[in-house]
Structure 1
C-alpha cells in the first residue's frame, strides 16, 4: 500500500480552481520535490496533506499507523522557549510535563520539589521517560544546547531545532516548504546531510536548484491545478518538461485549427448545405466547451532593468578600511577592495559575518572606523530588501509601484503602470489586491517590479532568490548578466551566484574580507570553505589566493573581465611571511599523480551520472536510489578535494 495517496483533490479560491482533480501517490523512502510557479498552490497543497486545509473534494489517505511531521516554512519571531521545550512539544501532554520537570530541576525550594513529585508521577504513568530519552538524544545528535532559548539562535540553528522537533517522533513522511530560505550555505549543507540520513519519505517545495539536485529522487509539478509526476532527476525533468510543453503547444495548435474548420462549416449557408450532420454539430459544441475550459499556461514574466546615467569608472575603493560597532569586535579590518563599473560581486559568508554591514560601507551609509573608503561619481542605487520592507502591506500592488504615477518610463518608453505590472505576471485584478494577501513569490516579483522601475547604475540585491519560481529566477539571472551597471548580491543560492557574479567576496567571520575571481563554484575550486568545515583555523591557501590579487583556477587573473583594470593588492592576514619552500620529492611525486587521479574521478562521476539518467533508474528500490545518489555526492566531493590539492601544489611549485 502507498504511504500517501492524494485522490482527485479539488480546491477553489475564487474563479479558478487551485487544485483540479489533483492526484498523487508517494511510496516509503521517496524524496519528492514539488515544483510550480508562484501562486499555483504548492504551499496550500502541503497544508491539504497535513490536514491544515480541508479540500472541497477528493481524499487524502495516509497508510494506517503512519506518522506525518511538518517543518514549518516561517521561523518564529520571538519564541522564548528553550530548545528542549520546543522539541519536547512534539508530544503534546507528555512534552509539556517533561519541559516543566526540566525547568523545575533548576529550583530547590519546597514548592518546586512538591510540584516535581506530582509531575514525575504523571510522566511515569505516560511512559514519558522513554520520550525524554528520545528528546535528549536528538538534541545531542544535532549538537543543540537544550537550555538555549529559540529567540537567541540564528536562523540556521532555529531551523535545526525545528527539524529536531519534526523528527523526534520518528515520522514516516516529512513535509518541507522552502526549507533553505534565509539559511546560509553551511546551514543548507547541514540540512542536506540531516535529510539525507532520514530514512522516511519527504515531500518538499523548493526553488533552490542545487538543493533540489542533491535531495530529489522524483519531481512532481503542480501546473494549472493538476499534479504531473516526472520519475527523473531535476536535470532530466527539465528536458522532459520542455518536450511536454512543445507537445502541448502542438496539440493545441492542431485542435484550434480543427475548431476553426468546424466553425467555418457550421456557418455555411442553407443553399450550400441543405441538411446538417447533427452528430458533427454536437461534436462542434463539445469542442467549443473544451476550448472554453482550457486553462492556458500563464505567461512568462518579462522585464528589463532601467538603465541610469553611467556611473564613473570607479564605483568604490577601500584602503585599509575597517569597521567595528561600539564595544564590539571588528566586523571588518584591513580591507582593500576596488569596485569598478560593470563588476558583478557576490558576497558570501555565514549569517552574522557582516555582509549587510559591508554593503552599507560600500554605499556610504556607514563610515569606516579605520582606514578610508572613497566613493565614485554619479552613483544611483536600487536596493532589493530580503525582508520586503520596501512594500506597504496595506496598499495594493498598483499603489505600491505607481507612487501617484499613471505611466512610468522604462528605457525611454512610456508604459502604463498596469501594463508594466502585467510584465511581472500581475493581472489587473491582482494588481488591485492588497499586498498583505500576496504569497512570498508575488511579493518578491512586486519588489522586483518596483526596483526595476527606477533608473539605477548600481543594483544591490539582498537574498533576491527567496520565494522566486525557477522561471522568474532564470529571467532575473539573464537581466543581471546583461545589465551594464554594477551588481552587488548577497545570496546563499549557489547556482544563482555561479550564473550571475564575476567576483566572489568572502567574509570569514574574523573580520577578513577575501576576494576571488568567479562565482561560488570557482571560490570552492580555489580552496574556499566555511570555518565550520575546517573545525578550526582557516587554511593558508585562502591567503595565497588573494595576496597578489584575485586569481582564477590556474592562478592567473581573469583577463576577460579585468584587462583594462588595475586593482590594488588585497591585504589579508597570513600565517607566515616566509616564501613557500620548493616541493620536496614526495610532494613532486604527489603532484605528478594528481592529474591521473582527477581524470579517473571525472570518468567515475560521469559513469555514475549516466546510471542516474537512465530511464529505469528511479524504478528501482528507494534504498538503491538513495545509495547511488549518495555515491555520486561522495565522488563529486572527492573530485573537488583532489582538484583543490592539485591547484595548491601547482601554485607552490611555481612560486
Structure 2
C-alpha cells in the first residue's frame, strides 16, 4: 500500500538544487534510509514531508488519514517539563482539545448555544482522532520505555532524552516515522535497543543516518540523494556502495565524451565563414544546445582530501597508569586500573555513556586528578584533542580565523600554504571560509575541528566522538588516515564499524570501575561479553544443580569423585575442551549474525525454525562443554 509520493518535486536554495523534478513513493512496512553528502538536502526533504518546508514546484500526495511524526535531531529546547507533558506535546493540538472538552464539561451550560456547538465539535473530533485514549497512550509509552512520568527532562542523560523524544513522536500513533540522525550521542547499547524497536515498528520509516552498521541492520531500501536526484537501491548497503561507484564512473565517462565533443564543436565554430553557411545552421543550433546542457550540469561535490601534520616521534612509552582510582558522586569510574599505552598503539574506549571514558582522557591529559595511583606520561608528546562538545571552536570567529588564528598562511609538512587553499581540502569554499562558525551545520563544524587539529603537528591523537554528523565518504577517508597515522591514537566512538576499522585494541568499561583490555575492535568486545555471559549462565546452572537436594547415590558419587584422579582419557578431554568451546562459540556467533539480519524473518518458516533450533542445540552443547570443563578442571586441581 502506497502511503505517500512525490510528484515532480522541485526545491532549490539559490542555485543549489535540493530536489530536481523528483518522483518517489513510500509503501507500508518499508524502512527507507536516505543517504547523501553533507549539505545534499536530506534534512530539507524531511522538512518537506512534515510541512515545515514548501516545494518550489510539484507536490507531495499523502493517503487519507496518514499520520507523520518526526524524531528531531536537536535536543529539546526546554528541559524543565515532565516526561509525561513532553510526550503529550507530540499529539499536537489533540491534548489542548481534550483539555478544553473536560473544561467545558465542568462548566456545562445548556442555554449557551455557542458552547454547545463547540462541545459537539470537540466530541466529534476526539472520536475521529481517538483522542480519548491519549492519556492511556502517554502512560503506556512511559511504561514501555521504563520512564517515570513525573520526572523532568533535566534528570535524563542524552540517551534517555532520545528515548523520550521517540516516545513523543509515537504518541500520535504515526503511520510514518521520520528519524534524522537517530544514533547521534547514543551509546552502543542504546543504538542496539533502537534497532530492535524499529525492526518491530508496524509503520513505515524514513531515516537519515551515516552509521553504516545501523543502516545495514535496519534499512529495507536505500534512497541516494545526489545533486537533486533520488536513486532507489534495495536494502543491501554493500551492494548500494558498489552500484554508486559504478554509476559515478559511467557519469564521468559520459561527461568526458560530452566535453570532448563540445570542445571539437567550439574549434569548428571558430574556423570562420564555413561555420556560418546555410548548410551548417543545424550544426550551429546543435552547438548552442550543447552549451546549454553543459551550463546546466551540476557537478559532483568534491571529496574531502586531507592529511595529518605529523610531529617527531614521541618516546616509546606514551602513558602508564598503576592502580588508578577515580570516582564521582559515589560511583567508581576507575578502580585499581592498570594501563600501558605504547607509541603506535590505536586503542578504543568502549562502554555505555557515563562510565568514565571521557574522564579517563581528562586524567591522561592531567586535567583531572586521580584519587589514588600513579600515572607516568611519556616524553615529547604533541597532542591533538578532538572534543565531542567542540569547545576548541570559537563560534563567533570565522572558519578561516579558527584554523589560522588571524594569519593568512599556515605551515604544513614544512611548507607555507594559504589557509583558504587548505580549507578547500575540507570542502570549505572561500566564501564559506569567511562565515562565522555559529552558522555552520553539525557536519561542517566537525570537519572544521578536524581541519584545525590536523593543521598542527601531532604524535598523539585523542578523538572523542569524531564521527557525529560526518558523511560516509569523510568517515571512510578518516579511517584511512588513522590507519596510516604513525603516532598513537585514543578513540571514543559508538560507531561500531568505525571502531572495527581503525583500532588494534579496546578498553571495555564495565560500568563498575573495572576496565578490561581486549585485542581487536568492537566485534571482539561483543564476543568477549557473550563469552562472559555464557560462563555466568553455566555457573548459575551448575550452582542450581548443587543446591538441588542430593540423593544418597549422588552423595556417594561426589565422595568418590573427590578422591578420584584424572584418567589419561579425561586429561586428553580436558586439553581439547578449550578449542571445542572456542569453536562452538564461533558457530553460535555466526548463527546469531544470521538471525540479526533484517531479512531473516522474511524467509519461510521452515528455514527460520531450522536455524533457531540449531542455535538452541549449539547453546546447549556450549553450556555442556563449559560444565564438563569446570568438572575436569576441579578434579585436576584436587
TM superposition score normalised by structure 2: 0.83
Alignment partner, residue 22 of structure 1: 22
Following superposition, the deviation at residue 27 of structure 1 comes to 0.9
1:477 lines up with 2:448 in the alignment = no
- Provide the C-alpha distance between the structure 1 equivalents of 2:200 and 2:172, rounded to a whole number of angstroms: 15
Matched-pair contact (CA < 8 Å) for 1:364–1:375: no
Following superposition, the deviation at residue 645 of structure 1 comes to 7.3
Match of 1:430 among 414, 429, 432: 432
Following superposition, the deviation at residue 514 of structure 1 comes to 1.2
Q: Assess, with a 3 A threshold, how the Cα gap between structure 1 residues 643 and 65 changes in structure 2: closer, same or farther.
A: farther
CA deviations 1:383-408 (Å, max 9, x no partner) are 11112222222222111111022111
Following superposition, the deviation at residue 20 of structure 1 comes to 2.1
Alignment partner, residue 76 of structure 2: 76
Alignment partner, residue 301 of structure 1: 304
Following superposition, the deviation at residue 606 of structure 1 comes to 7.6
Match of 2:443 among 441, 444, 449: 441
Alignment partner, residue 364 of structure 1: 366
Matched-pair contact (CA < 8 Å) for 2:333–2:512: yes
Match of 1:142 among 121, 145, 156: 145
Alignment partner, residue 51 of structure 1: 51
Q: Assess, with a 3 A threshold, how the Cα gap between structure 1 residues 117 and 283 changes in structure 2: closer, same or farther.
A: closer
- Provide the C-alpha distance between the structure 2 equivalents of 1:68 and 1:457, rounded to a whole number of angstroms: 49
Deviates more, 1:208-217 or 1:116-125: 116-125
Helix, strand or coil at the partner of 1:511: coil
Alignment partner, residue 90 of structure 2: 90
Matched-pair contact (CA < 8 Å) for 2:538–2:626: no
Deviates more, 1:271-280 or 1:419-428: 271-280
Q: Assess, with a 3 A threshold, how the Cα gap between structure 1 residues 537 and 589 changes in structure 2: closer, same or farther.
A: closer
Give RMSD over aligned pairs.
4.1
Following superposition, the deviation at residue 540 of structure 1 comes to 9.2
Matched-pair contact (CA < 8 Å) for 1:75–1:158: yes
- Provide the C-alpha distance between the structure 2 equivalents of 1:498 and 1:120, rounded to a whole number of angstroms: 65
Alignment partner, residue 319 of structure 1: 322
CA deviations 1:12-60 (Å, max 9, x no partner) are 2233223322331111111110001011111111111110111222211
Helix, strand or coil at the partner of 2:254: helix
Larger Rg: 2
Q: Assess, with a 3 A threshold, how the Cα gap between structure 1 residues 88 and 308 changes in structure 2: closer, same or farther.
A: same
Q: Assess, with a 3 A threshold, how the Cα gap between structure 1 residues 347 and 605 changes in structure 2: closer, same or farther.
A: closer
1:158 lines up with 2:158 in the alignment = no
Alignment partner, residue 279 of structure 1: 282
The structure with the greater share of residues assigned to helix is: 2
Alignment partner, residue 32 of structure 2: 32
Alignment partner, residue 215 of structure 2: 212
- Provide the C-alpha distance between the structure 2 equivalents of 1:150 and 1:142, rounded to a whole number of angstroms: 14
Matched-pair contact (CA < 8 Å) for 1:73–1:177: yes
Q: Assess, with a 3 A threshold, how the Cα gap between structure 1 residues 202 and 630 changes in structure 2: closer, same or farther.
A: farther
- Provide the C-alpha distance between the structure 2 equivalents of 1:407 and 1:647, rounded to a whole number of angstroms: 66
Q: Assess, with a 3 A threshold, how the Cα gap between structure 1 residues 376 and 589 changes in structure 2: closer, same or farther.
A: closer
Deviates more, 1:25-34 or 1:132-141: 132-141
Following superposition, the deviation at residue 151 of structure 1 comes to 1.4
Q: How many residues align?
A: 589
Matched-pair contact (CA < 8 Å) for 1:594–1:642: no
Alignment partner, residue 194 of structure 1: 197
Alignment partner, residue 180 of structure 1: 183
- Provide the C-alpha distance between the structure 1 equivalents of 2:516 and 2:57, rounded to a whole number of angstroms: 56
Q: Assess, with a 3 A threshold, how the Cα gap between structure 1 residues 363 and 649 changes in structure 2: closer, same or farther.
A: farther
1:262 lines up with 2:265 in the alignment = yes
- Provide the C-alpha distance between the structure 2 equivalents of 1:248 and 1:468, rounded to a whole number of angstroms: 25
- Provide the C-alpha distance between the structure 2 equivalents of 1:263 and 1:305, rounded to a whole number of angstroms: 43
Gaps of 5+ in 2: 110-118, 541-569
CA deviations 1:187-239 (Å, max 9, x no partner) are 11111111111011111100000000011111111101111111341111111
Helix, strand or coil at the partner of 1:3: strand
Helix, strand or coil at the partner of 1:220: strand
Alignment partner, residue 236 of structure 1: 239
Gaps of 5+ in 1: 102-113, 542-581, 618-622
Q: Assess, with a 3 A threshold, how the Cα gap between structure 1 residues 494 and 271 changes in structure 2: closer, same or farther.
A: closer
Alignment partner, residue 528 of structure 2: 526
Deviates more, 1:494-503 or 1:252-261: 252-261
Alignment partner, residue 560 of structure 2: none
Helix, strand or coil at the partner of 1:89: helix
Helix, strand or coil at the partner of 2:2: coil
CA deviations 1:266-325 (Å, max 9, x no partner) are 222336985542111111110111111111101111001111121111011010111124
Structure 1 moving runs of 4+ over 6 Å: 97-101, 114-117, 119-124, 536-541, 582-591, 603-609, 625-655
Helix, strand or coil at the partner of 2:323: strand
Q: Assess, with a 3 A threshold, how the Cα gap between structure 1 residues 626 and 461 changes in structure 2: closer, same or farther.
A: farther
Q: Assess, with a 3 A threshold, how the Cα gap between structure 1 residues 133 and 43 changes in structure 2: closer, same or farther.
A: same
- Provide the C-alpha distance between the structure 1 equivalents of 2:355 and 2:107, rounded to a whole number of angstroms: 43
TM superposition score normalised by structure 1: 0.81
Alignment partner, residue 488 of structure 1: 490
- Provide the C-alpha distance between the structure 2 equivalents of 1:250 and 1:284, rounded to a whole number of angstroms: 20
Matched-pair contact (CA < 8 Å) for 1:88–1:98: no
Alignment partner, residue 456 of structure 1: 458
Matched-pair contact (CA < 8 Å) for 1:23–1:226: no
- Provide the C-alpha distance between the structure 1 equivalents of 2:349 and 2:611, rounded to a whole number of angstroms: 26
Helix, strand or coil at the partner of 2:363: helix
Q: Assess, with a 3 A threshold, how the Cα gap between structure 1 residues 299 and 32 changes in structure 2: closer, same or farther.
A: same
- Provide the C-alpha distance between the structure 2 equivalents of 1:211 and 1:633, rounded to a whole number of angstroms: 23
Q: Assess, with a 3 A threshold, how the Cα gap between structure 1 residues 204 and 539 changes in structure 2: closer, same or farther.
A: farther
